[in-house]
Chain A
Amino acid sequence: MKPSLVLQPLWGARWTLAALAAGLTALMLAATASYSSFGGAEMLAQFISRMPRGIHTLAGGENLLTAAGYFSMMFVHPLALIFKGGAAIALVTRLAQDVETHAADLLLSRPVTRVELALARYLAALAGLTTVIGCGALAFLIGRSRMPAVQELAAMHVLAAFGYDLLLWTAIASAGFFATCLASARGRAVSWAVGFAALSYLLNVVGQLWAPMEPARRASVFYYFRPATALAGSSPPAAHLALLAGVAAAGLVLGLLAFRRRDIA
Chain B
Amino acid sequence: MSTPSTVIEARGLTKRYGRRRGIEAVSFSVRAGEIFGFLGPNGAGKTTTIRLMLGLLRPTGGAVSVFGVPPGPAVMARIGYVPGDLGLYLEMTGAALLDHLAGLQRGPPRLRGDLCARFELSAPDLAIAVRACSRGMKQKIALVQAFQHDPDLLVLDEPTEGLDPLMRERLYDLIQSTAEQGKTVFLSSHVLPEVDRVCGRVAMVREGRLIVEETVASLRARTLRKLEAVMGAPVDLASLRVEGVVEARADGSRVTLLVRGSPVPALQALLRQPLEDLVCERARLEEIFLEHYRPEPGR
Stretch with Cβ within 8 A of B (4 or more), from A95-103, A154-162, A166-174, A225-233:
A95-103
In the assembled complex, the Cα of A264 lies from the Cα of B73 at a distance in Å of 15
Stretch with Cβ within 8 A of A (4 or more), from B82-90, B212-220, B225-233:
B82-90
| Residues of chain B with a CB closer than 8 A to A110's CB | 76-77, 101, 104-105
- The main secondary structure of chain B at its interface with chain A is loop
| Residues of chain A with a CB closer than 8 A to B74's CB | 111
Partner of A263, one of B57, B76, B103, B106: B57
Which residue on B lies nearest to A13, using beta carbons?
B91
Q: Is the CB of A111 within 8 A of B89?
A: no
Q: Categorize the interface residue count of chain A.
A: 20 to 34
| Residues of chain B with a CB closer than 8 A to A106's CB | 81, 83, 87-88, 101, 145
Task: List which A7-50 residues lie within 8 A (CB) of chain B.
Answer: 8, 12
**Chain A nearest CB: distance from B138 CB in Å?**
12
Q: Is there a chain A Cβ closer than 8 Å to B118's Cβ? A: no
Q: Categorize the interface residue count of chain B.
A: 20 to 34
In the assembled complex, the Cα of A4 lies from the Cα of B58 at a distance in Å of 27
Stretch with Cβ within 8 A of A (4 or more), from B48-56, B167-175, B193-201:
B48-56
| A-B contact number at CB 8 A | 76
**Chain B nearest CB: distance from A35 CB in Å?**
40
Q: Is the CB of A109 within 8 A of B76?
A: yes
Q: Is the CB of B56 within 8 A of A4?
A: no
Q: Is the CB of B76 within 8 A of A8?
A: no
Q: Is the CB of B83 within 8 A of A102?
A: yes
Q: Is the CB of A105 within 8 A of B103?
A: no
Q: Is there a chain A Cβ closer than 8 Å to B179's Cβ? A: no
**Chain A nearest CB: distance from B159 CB in Å?**
14
In the assembled complex, the Cα of A104 lies from the Cα of B51 at a distance in Å of 12
Q: Is the CB of B81 within 8 A of A105?
A: yes
**Chain B nearest CB: distance from A249 CB in Å?**
25
Q: Is the CB of B57 within 8 A of A111?
A: no
Task: List which B209-252 residues lie within 8 A (CB) of chain A.
Answer: none
A residues whose Cβ falls under 8 Å from a Cβ of B: 2, 4-5, 8, 12, 98, 101-113, 261, 263-265
B residues whose Cβ falls under 8 Å from a Cβ of A: 17, 51, 54-58, 73-74, 76-77, 79, 81, 83, 85-89, 91-92, 100-101, 103-106, 145, 155
